[in-house]
């Protein structure tokens, strides 16, 4: 799962997979804007076959938070 998330982030933000870590957030990744935030959400939903609700979307503002939310979504399935 972590690999998939990293690959998606790498594709969307146009950054190296290796550079993604616990500090990765809109503050540290220049291309993480609102447009790419939307692309990120759509891609995560597609990859994991989940539906994220508004609150979850708003909370997804760092790599650790993304992992946490996707994990809890997958546990519910």
Partner 1 sequence: MKYSEIIKLNSDLKDSLDGSHYNVFIASNIMVHQSKEICEFSLRRESVNASVSIGRYDNIVQDSSKVKNVDAVLIFWEVFNFVDGLHYKIDTLTEVEFQNLIQKVKLEIDLVFSNLKNVPLVLINKFSTLVFNQFNLSDNRISQLAKILNLYLANTAKENTKIVDIDKVISRLSIDLSIDLRYYYSSKTLYSIKFYRQYFEYIKPFFLSTVGKAKKALIFDCDNTLWKGVLGEDGPDGIKVYQEIQYLALSLESQGVIIGLCSKNNLEDVDEVLKHHTDMILRDENIAIKKVNWGNKVDNLRSIANDLNIGLDSLVFFDDSSFEVELVARELPDVKVFQVPPKEYEYGQLFREVFNLFYSPVRTKEDKSKSKMYKDQSKRLEEKESSKNIEDYLISLGIVIEVYEDNLSHAPRIAQLTQKTNQFNLTTKRYTESDIKAFIQGCDKIVLSIEVFDKFGPSGLTGVAILCKKTCEIDSLLLSCRVLGRNIEYKFMEIIISIAKKNELKVLRGNYVKTYKNSQVENFYDKCGFNIKDRTDKNSIYSIDVDEFNRDSIDYIKVNHGR
Other CB atoms within 10 A of residue 73 CB? 18
Q: Which of 20, 72, 27, 57 is nearest to 11 (CA)?
A: 20
Residue identified by tokens 């972590």 is 2
Least distance from partner 1 to the Cβ atom of residue 28, Å: 19
| Among residues 26, 39, 67, 68, the one that binds partner 1 under rule CB under 8 A | 39
Is 60:40 a contact under the CB 8 Å cutoff? yes
Cα–Cα dist 77/31, whole Å: 31
| 47 lines the binding site for partner 1 (CB under 8 A) | yes
| Among residues 1, 11, 17, 27, the one that binds partner 1 under rule CB under 8 A | 11
| Among residues 46, 64, 65, 74, the one that binds partner 1 under rule CB under 8 A | 46
List contacts with partner 1 (CB under 8 A): 7-8, 10-12, 14, 35, 38-39, 42-43, 46-47, 51, 53-54
């Amino acid at each position: 799962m972590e690999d998939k998330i990293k690959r998606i982030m790498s594709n969307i933000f146009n950054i190296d997979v290796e550079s993604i870590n616990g500090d990765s957030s809109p503050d540290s990744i220049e291309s993480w804007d609102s447009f790419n935030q939307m692309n990120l959400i759509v891609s995560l939903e597609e990859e994991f076959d989940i539906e994220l609700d508004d609150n979850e979307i708003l909370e997804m503002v760092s790599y650790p938070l993304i992992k946490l939310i996707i994990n809890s979504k997958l546990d519910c399935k």
